[in-house]
Structure 1
């Protein structure tokens, strides 16, 4: 491994960029950093994973540049994204480390919001940027979980000024294409898991931060253009990476994308928020969702808008833990959910039937579909009363 360091001063932040070929992308990324970072308090750490094109010569050139302090680490072969980032973080001298893909172009004032997020919010562990495709549409504005337990970019393809992507908010995950962390925290957590090969490292890292009680926060005021998946072999290990994530985090990967279907400014602050689990009679979450699933998602969306926390469990998930749950709502369908000891369980009805009698449910709660605001106010009052009444035995 070769190291070239052009500055002995201690920077406030270190931008770590893993590389493998595509020198033209690296050059464009570097030029944008010089144009839009503009401070000697920032260093750039390039980690070259054995590139065979003109990358080495390019790095020798920028290492002698006075524009920004530069450190270059060179591996003999391709060590992968996770290991390269970990190498860069260990070599970094800044208190904040920003991992940045080489297929990105940063915009004006891109770094300050990420650094400010970590400086001003001790509860934040990872800060992520708004990433745009070259055509200006959104590539990343937060990562959450779909009904198939898979993390995904929830606002992919949105307009850059869409209200849904214009507010600061916490997500379960943000993308590693541009994410900022505190260096010492990152190293204390073990860095990226090097068992992943060019995919899901960021998902795993954010979930480990969450396990440690730290949030991942999206900052829309940090804007970066991302060409996406430009590295050779980027998708070659997709199946294995996904399986590794599911094996480790399946209990944490519960659908939550309905939390983000409205602007953060529309979310109410509940004085006494409830944690609710919806049990839906969906046999196969990969099939087209039945009406019960869609109805449950609409209900979850409105409850989340009112400040509550909601999870959806389909049939394969019915035995998942309900730790911290205040209330269970069972949606009628071809499979009947049998109430279990623990939090109170109510049957959700449409007002035309009452299947709770003698079935072990604490109550039957009616909510017409579609529901009006008055209907939902009454329904929410019933939920609170049921939660206060205590659990099933």
Structure 2
């Protein structure tokens, strides 16, 4: 390549006030970032009023051998606009977005650069973020049953097995996030319609929709003094509404896919796509019993290397052409199987409501009762097997001294 050097990555830091955090952040970068490959620091000062501008000028003078640029905006433009501004100014092939209320640890940048350099399918890579007490703040973002993205492993010990392996998520946090600069700009950068929240959720979902992988790298470790910026949560509700407007149709629960160490995930020869149909009317019904059975089953299927989603009753009309196997957890409402899926009826409740006509529409019937299974067999030519309810101990805590007749 012509020229004297090649800028490998640019660390883009948007900030507004909180000068003590900025000082510690920049010092940690100098201390823990190797001089090679070549990198630069690009700071976007969003109209700080606490002496940050003067400090940045002095920092540049003291560290003249560090490639450092600071741009001062006359007002606070917000996270998205500042990051996009920094991305356009950056000279690195890789962008590392970093909050100013962070302290990077040894090896942090090497993990990010390695991921984007060695894994061509990766579009976004995120870090293991720790609270100052050493517990987990972020190790990937999951979507809960309420369809809200959240930090699934928040509060766990930093060495917990569930946070200790590289794994694919749909979303990682923007507090420390790396991307290829060219691809980031082609995708439009951060959506500037957000104001200090959900920008990272939206960006990651756009990468995911484009078929690009969003990866969590636990060997990139950063301490994060979360939500330290002024006005950090002022637009929380508006940001959430914008995310639902843009992505509501695909915001499906996936947290059951991350509730076990990645090393325990099996690799089947033929991974299957499952849809679990439950009778809860919609996603506002978050305490129905069949939901908890579905979550336990979904977790078990994901652990065996299969894909899984949970469909509420108002979602039964989806075409399901991407689904191999449908499991209907029987309740008060009847599901009408689609002929191109392999359809399983799991009778866990209301067995008296089951009719021979309904049984005949399935490829397989499972009965959560060894006593009732023979009665079902007598009603149909469809194969029938006993398959008892599995009680996930994360949801159900039976009293051992009380005997229960589960039949």
Using the size of structure 1 for normalisation, the TM-score is 0.89
Q: How many residues align?
A: 365
Partner of 2:55: 58
1 CA distance for matches of 2:192 and 2:273? 35
* 1:330-345 pair list within 5 angstroms: 330-340=328-338, 342-345=340-343
Pairing partner for 1:269 from 258, 261, 267: 267
Q: Secondary structure, in 3 states, of the residue corresponding to 1:198? A: coil
**1:38 counterpart residue number:** 34
Is it true that 1:71 corresponds to 2:69 in the alignment?
yes
Deviates more, 1:349-358 or 1:30-39: 349-358
Structure 1: segments with no counterpart, 5+ residues: 1-7, 373-393
Q: 1:96 to 1:348 in 2, by over 3 A?
A: same
The counterpart of 2:192, out of the listed 194, 202, 210, is 194
Moved more, 83-92 or 347-356: 347-356
What is the aligned counterpart of 2:300 among 293, 299, 302?
Answer: 302
Distance verdict in 2 for CA 1:62–1:47, change over 3 Å = same
Check conservation: 2:84, 2:190, Cα contact below 8 A: yes
Q: Structure 2 regions of 5+ residues with no counterpart? A: 368-386, 393-407
Q: Secondary structure at the match of 2:249?
A: coil
Q: Distance in 2 between matches of 1:58 and 1:320?
A: 56
Matched, 1:12 2:32: no
**In the alignment, is residue 239 of structure 1 matched against residue 240 of structure 2?**
no
Quote the Cα distance in structure 1 between the aligned partners of 2:41 and 2:65: 10
**Is the Cα–Cα contact under 8 Å of residues 255 and 311 in structure 1 kept in the other structure?**
yes
1:74 to partner: Cα distance: 1.4
Q: Give the 5 Å matches for 1:81-120.
A: 81-120=79-118
Equivalences for residues 1-393 of structure 1 within 5 A? 10-39=6-35, 41-64=38-61, 65-66=63-64, 68-340=66-338, 342-350=340-348, 353=351, 355=354, 357-359=356-358, 360-366=361-367, 367-370=387-390
Instruction: Supply the distance in 1 between the matched residues of 2:151 and 2:313 (Cα, whole angstroms).
Output: 25
* Pair 357,273 (structure 1): closer, same or farther in 2 beyond 3 Å: farther
Label 1:276 to 1:52 Cα distance change in 2 as closer, same or farther (>3 A).
Answer: same
- Aligned-partner Cα distance in 1 for 2:340–2:205: 27
**Matched-pair contact (CA < 8 Å) for 2:17–2:229:** yes
Tell me which residue corresponds to 1:4. none
Deviation at 1:347, TM superposition (A): 1.3
1:176-209: per-residue Cα shift (whole Å, max 9, x none)? 0000001111111111111111111111111111
Superposed CA deviations along residues 23-77 of structure 1, whole A, max 9, x for unmatched, are 1111110110011013161110000111111110111112222352101111111
Q: How many Å separate the matches in 1 of 2:355 and 2:60? A: 72
Deviation at 1:231, TM superposition (A): 1.1
Question: What's the C-alpha RMSD, in Å, of the aligned pairs?
Answer: 1.9
Give the TM-score of the pair, scaled to structure 2. 0.86
Shift of 1:230: 1.0
Report if aligned partners of 1:34, 1:67 keep a CA contact under 8 Å in 2.
no
* Structure-1 separation of matches of 2:158 and 2:356: 51
SS at match of 2:330: coil
Which residue matches 2:402? none
Once the 2 structures are TM-superposed, how far is the Cα of residue 342 of structure 1 from its aligned partner?
Answer: 4.2
Change (3 A) 1:351 1:321: closer
Q: Secondary structure at the match of 2:174?
A: coil
Q: Deviations over 1:88-126 (max 9, x none)?
A: 011111111000000100011110001000000000000
